[in-house]
Amino acid sequence: MHVDDLLVLFVNENKDDENKISNLLEKTVNRVILASNAKESLNQYRKHSPCLIIIDSDFKDNSLVELLKEIRKDDLKTAFIILTKNKENRYILDLMELYLTKYILKPFTNELLSYSLNKAMEIIEKRIYSNIKLAKGVFFNFQTQSIIKDDKSYVLNKKESLLINLFIKNPNRIISYEEIEYHIWNNEVSTGAFKSLIRDLRKKTFKTFIKNISGVGYMLNTEK
C-alpha cells in the first residue's frame, strides 16, 4: 500500500485554505472527497468508506468531535489527521482518545503534511493486516474481525466484534455495564442477552478473558 492509494475524506470548515490543502492532497493521494460539516461528512464517510479523514477546523463547537466519536464506535481502521490554528482547543483531550494519527497546528509546511500522510498509510496497513495481541496466545484481526487462538480463527458476530473493539479502544479500563449497553445495543437490553454475549465471547477465548468487576462493569484480562 502506498500514499497514492489513499482515499481521503477532507472535512474543511476553513474555506481560506481549502484550495491550497485540497490541491496538495489531489497531487499526492488517489482521491479526495470534500465535506464542510459533520452531517455531510458522515454521509460521505458512509458512502465512500475512506481510509483517511483529514479535518481542518477551529473547533468552535464539538460537532466534528462527535462525528469522529461516532465513526470510532465501529471503525478503528480509518486514520484521523487534525489541522487547526486553535492553540487552546478545549476538545483536545477528547480528540486524543480517538487514536489520532497526527494533530497539526497551522501554519504548517507541505513536508509535514506529506510526512503525516505517509504515517497514516503505515498505521492503516498495520490496522488492516496485523493481528493485535489481546492476551497470551489470543489475537484479534481487524480485517477479518476474528479472534485467533492457538492458531485457530473464530469469526465474531457483529455484537461480539463491537465489544472487542470497545475493549481495544479502552485498554486497562473498566467499562461500565451502561456504556456497554449503549455501545452494543444503543438502549437497554435484557440481562440474559447481556450475559449471553459475554459467555459466547469467553468460549472463543478463555473463561477469564473478560473480567467482571462486581457492580461496576467489565475489563479485559490480558494475562491468561
Answer yes or no: is pLDDT of 166 > 90. Answer: no
Q: Say whether pLDDT at 79 is over 70.
A: yes
Q: What's the CA angle centered on 51, arms 139 and 64, to 5 degrees?
A: 105
Q: What percent of the chain has pLDDT over 70?
A: 96
Identify which of 59-68, 124-133, 213-222 has the greatest average pLDDT: 59-68
Q: Is the pTM of this model over 0.95?
A: no
Whether pLDDT at 201 is above 80: yes
| CA distance linking residue 4 with residue 25, whole number of Å | 10
Tell me the pLDDT band of 224, cut-offs 50, 70 and 90. low
Give the three cell numbers for residue 47.
Answer: 458512502
Give the whole-angstrom CA distance, residue 124 versus residue 154. 23
C-alpha to C-alpha distance for 195 and 204, rounded to whole angstroms:
15
- Read off the pLDDT band of 142 (50, 70, 90): confident
7 vs 224: which has the higher pLDDT: 7
Summarize pLDDT for 8-49 with one digit per residue, the tens: 999 998 877 767 788 888 888 888 999 999 999 999 998 988
- Determine the pLDDT at residue 133: 83
Report CA-CA distances (Å) from 41 to 4, 48, 202, 218. 22, 10, 37, 33
| Per-residue pLDDT tens over the stretch 112-128 | 988 999 888 888 877 76
- Rounded to an integer, the average pLDDT of 172-187 is 88
In the chain, what are the domains? 3-129 (3.40.50.2300), 131-220 (1.10.10.10)
Residue 188 has pLDDT above 70, yes or no: yes
pLDDT of residue 160: 94
